[in-house]
Amino acid sequence: MTTTTPTPQRSSALYRAVWRWHFFAGLIVLPFVILIAVTGAIYLFKDEINDAAYSGRRFVTPSETQALAPSEITGAALETHPGSLVAYVPPPAPDRTAQVKIAGEDGTTDTVYVNPYDGAVVGSAWDAGPSGSTPMWLVRKLHSLEYVGWWGNRIVEAVAGWMVLLVATGVYLWWPRGRKVGVMAPRRTRGRPLWRDIHAVTGIYATGFVLFLALTGLPWTGVWGKYFYDLSYAAGMGMTDGYWSNLPTSDVPAGTVMEQTPWIMEHHGMPMSGMSEGIPAALDDVVATVEAAGLHPGYEVAMPAGAEGVFTASVYPHDISQERVIHLDQYTGDVLLDLGVADLGRLGWLAEWGNSIHMGQQFGLANQVVLLVACVAMVVMAVSAVVMWWKRRPAGSLGAPAVPSDWRIPRAVLVMAVAAGLFFPLVGLSLVAIALIEAGLNLAKRPRAV
């Protein structure tokens, strides 16, 4: 059996076609890549930044006396900040304050920091949820483009898909193709070739990390994430039906009630208490129950929402194996659901682990430093791409690689583009939009018959 070696002309045409798509992909996502990389690098160290910036309200001097009961701590907070108790976070360590989340009459929720040994309120701030502070909340919102709402989520999803294509096409463009070695270090010391080598070398070393960051962020997106969620659920690899126990569940998704919840639980209805009226269980008893269950320090106890709501104790520590959610009946205090990462299906488990590593949590400082380097690499690639493009583009022109004249081989790129569009639907839509725009521009350039 003989094989046909592509002619140099066909190889060149394929190379130019891939280069062209790599160029347009970079043009589309470059500003967003810089934004995501910079905000992601900052958010990796949110705990360290919050502790340093707000040490006065987050730390206390440890005391030999026993800490006050949860009811006493929350009572002290409500005395100085009247409102409705939303959640209670016991001190995660002897030198930490307790946090009491209180909803005011205007609907906003504040976090009140209380010395657990004497009940003194040492500070308060707007509740920023898992971000821990308003600046980190801002960084997180910018990272996910939630400020733009529905469109922001779709933009981030499209950027993640385009980043995968950028990596794939970038590796193809870098591949030696018959040469003895690839470009593993910059070969030039000045000019556009230097920037080209910086771009290529940084990209080849950062390839795996960029792919990981893009793919582990996709489960939380609106289109790709929903399909992945439905697939996980249908295959029984997310979380199976009936796990909530035999008690009824509400129509309210867990993701809309809980500030933080495992990905695979976001669309499941919250469990309901067995009764719809009565005397709620005491907070002290609820805390004692979850403490006896061995919940990792740093957990939060959320108060029931409505007459049929439940107490929810949840914790998302750096060690993802200790992630856990416990729902308790509002009136009896009985445990209705005790869910850990090990109880999730394979895809649900992978999503949680991927997210923990994505946020720089799972492997401590090493995890943070590696991803920080990856974020810096993304910025270097983006900046070097801009400089390289600016140096090579003709004056007054976009400087895009020319359309190959021989489309017999590059049509294979169309097959790959269709496959990528099916796997990343929003990438597919943007590919179609680019193709239509390009076709329109080409038609406009053609001379008209007289």
Burial class from Cβ neighbours inside 10 Å (0-12, 13-18, 19+) for residue 172 reads: middle
pLDDT for the residue numbered 281 = 95
Q: Distance between CA atoms of 337 and 343, rounded to whole angstroms?
A: 11
pLDDT in tens, the chain (450 residues): 434 444 454 467 777 778 887 888 888 889 999 999 999 999 999 999 999 999 999 999 999 999 999 999 999 999 999 999 999 999 999 999 999 999 998 889 999 999 999 999 999 999 999 999 999 999 999 999 987 888 888 999 999 999 998 998 899 888 887 665 567 787 767 777 888 889 999 999 999 999 999 999 999 888 998 898 888 888 878 765 555 556 667 777 888 778 788 887 887 788 888 887 889 999 999 999 999 999 999 999 999 988 999 999 999 999 999 999 999 999 999 998 898 888 888 888 999 999 999 999 999 999 999 999 999 999 999 999 999 888 877 776 666 676 655 555 556 667 777 888 889 999 888 888 877 876 776 677 666 655
Separation in Å, CA 381 to CA 37, 167, 203, 388: 11, 11, 7, 10
Neighbours of 4 (CB within 10 A): 6
Tokens 């791409």, residue? 385
Two tokens, residue 287 = 């805390």
169: its two tokens: 């096409």
Helical (H) or strand (E) element with 313: strand 310-315
Rg (CA), the chain: 27
Give the residue from 436, 425, 8, 83 showing the smallest Cα distance to 227.
425
Across the strands, what pairs with 249? 271
Q: Which two tokens stand for residue 158?
A: 């499209």
Using CA atoms, how far apart are residues 305 and 297, in angstroms rounded to an integer?
24
- The encoded tokens of residue 275 equal 């009764």
DSSP per residue, 92-108: SSTTB-EEEEEE-TTS-
At residue 133, the 3 state secondary structure works out as coil
Copy the structure tokens of residue 86.
Answer: 């939303």
Q: Which two tokens stand for residue 10?
A: 């066909």
Name the nearest CA neighbour of 266 among 290, 247, 238.
238
Q: Where are the alpha helices (DSSP H) in 310-424?
A: 346-358, 364-392, 411-423
| CB 338 within 8 Å of CB 292 | no
